[in-house]
Amino acid sequence: MTGPNPTQSAEFVAFANALTGQYQLEREIGRGGMGVVYLARDLKLDRLVAIKTLPPHLAADSVVRERFLREARTAGALSNQNIVPIHRADELGGQVFFVMGYVGGESLAQRIRTRGRVNPVEVLRILRDVADALGYAHSRGIVHRDVKAENILLDEHTGRAMVTDFGIARLAEATPLTSTGQLLGTVYYLSPEQVTGEGVDARSDIYALGVVGYFALSGRFPFNAELASAVLIAHVTKTAPPLHEIAPNTPRALTDIIDRCLLKNPDDRFQNCLALRTALSNIENLVIAEVSERHANDQPLPPQALLSDTEARDILERAANLQAATGIQDRPAPVVGARDPHRHVSETSGHRLGNVRDAAVEAGISSKYVDHALLEHGLTPAGLPAEAPLALVDRSKPPSTFAGATTQHVYEIVVDGEMPEDDFDLLVDIIRQATNEVGQLSAVGRSFTWQSTPAKGNVHVAVLPRGGKTTIRVSENMRVLAAGLFGGIMGGVGGGTSTLWVATGIFLHNPIPAFLGWSGTLVLTYSAARLILTAASRKRQGVLRALTEQLAVQARESIAAAGLKLGSSPAPRLRG
């Protein structure tokens, strides 16, 4: 370690000091409920590695600590080109960690979030790589139990898909967090037998891999709902919608394989990963040929798509309704629609986009509502550069040692282009819907900030368009909540029972049992407050991350719509 950096957290510095002379920490690259991942350099072998360490509140539990190391060492015995290798599992200076190979690139989840649905040929190869990795692990008696897009890394150098986090799901069973209702694995990927608590084997991993393929090809999960419990029930009781209906441009041979992985009865799925891998290899040439044929037949939309009378009237009617409803109810964010290039490329007559916008303006409808409706019809600007991935940066402070949870969340995304001020109200609507809070809006120049009222929370949103970019920053300070929890629970229960323990000491003529009992009560209330705060902090983390991404998507859509508006030329009024 070269020297302390004032921007580095105490957690980072403590871990770096523990590794002095062996590894040099570079930066944090990931964080989850079961640990923090750092990029580091192995000083002895002069290579980059990824190091995963247990959070302090878990490392303090001897059962969790030993199981963390045991699971890491078990996974370290796996040697396969599609499994992220584990080089070391150890404990130094009170820090518990394991060292993995560093995979340059992104996870499949990041790939889908930033660039949307994945090409079927690429999905087939990813699934085959993962099936190869899982099959190898299964043959050695190891079931992953937590297969999901986040645990599949795409190596930017070799193109291989590599699986990580073997054993983490089993480790979660040993943590005290399960008492708060934390689910093992991610609810979207859990097999029916995992939900019902039955035996888990290789076929559970195959089910989860089927969900991965479904998500990659369609951009949605087989089962989705606002409540985790509803998703779990659906895994057990409902049949997933056939993938070929959700992703109709995917070769049927591939969707049929994924649908089979998602069958409720494990006996009806592929019985092992070798069978799944063989099935995928057998259809590879067919999938490549079908996808190539589709691409050859695809033609780009004309620079300015022509709209039929019906579609033009639908757009104008939607824009008018949006304008009339705004102020009475929240204006929704536009959900960008898709257009069929085969149908629209053949149109030779109709209304140009400029005609539709001019007709709306003459009728007293603001152009921003027209652009909103156009986006919903899949009419995005033509000729613009490809959109850069939305990279969410987590600037949150590390968890408090005393509270056991993060009390200062900060997330940021920078979008290319400067968002027009006319669409700031769209962002405010998104904020209000996501937070369910009333706040104060302040505008300075072309930037604006939104602050929730102190009585409800402490969410702060800043939108800063400058220098050809727009920065979206969302933060929340949970210290007041933390103080209230610890003060209320410990003070209320501890103080309320103090009289009882004093009376007990007097009755027994011995203060020691009373003191021990009162101390035990304080420890229990402290632990309860930590658990409640941890659950609340994680829930807010998800809300704030999603809010930041929604705001960034809306900002990019508004920038795109503004480009479409500037790129259109005046045209005659829409008639008839």
Q: Tell me the sheet residues that pair with 163.
A: 83, 152
**Catalytic position from the list 42, 129, 132, 146:** 146
Q: Tell me the sheet residues that pair with 472.
A: 413, 463
Task: For residue 271, give both structure tokens.
Answer: 């019985």
DSSP state of 420: P
Name residue 78's amino acid.
L
Name residue 195's amino acid.
V
Residues 313/576, Cβ–Cβ less than 8 Å:
no
Residues whose CB falls within 8 Å of the CB of residue 553, separated by 6 or more in sequence, listed in order: 333, 390
DSSP state of 387: P
Residues 396/410, Cβ–Cβ less than 8 Å:
yes
Query: Sheet holding 161-163: strands in order across?
Result: 105-107, 152-155, 161-163
Residues 390/111, Cβ–Cβ less than 8 Å:
no
Residues 388/368, Cβ–Cβ less than 8 Å:
no
Spatial separation of the C-alpha atoms in residues 529 and 273, rounded to whole Å: 44
Task: For residue 266, give both structure tokens.
Answer: 């494990």
Run of H or E including 89: strand 86-92
CA dihedral for 130, 136, 139, 145, sign (positive or negative): negative
Q: Which of 70, 24, 178, 121 is nearest to 531 (CA)?
A: 178
Spatial separation of the C-alpha atoms in residues 196 and 237, rounded to whole Å: 11
Task: For residue 334, give both structure tokens.
Answer: 């536009």
Q: Which parts of 149-219 fold into alpha helices (H)?
A: 168-172, 192-196, 202-218
Task: For residue 354, give both structure tokens.
Answer: 């400029």
Residues 561/376, Cβ–Cβ less than 8 Å:
no
Catalytic site includes residue 425 = no
Task: For residue 488, give both structure tokens.
Answer: 């209320």
Q: Tell me the sheet residues that pair with 30.
A: 37
Q: Which parts of 162-305 fold into alpha helices (H)?
A: 168-172, 192-196, 202-218, 228-237, 243-246, 252-261, 273-297
Rounded to 5°, the CA angle 153-228-144 comes to 35
Residues marked as catalytic = 146
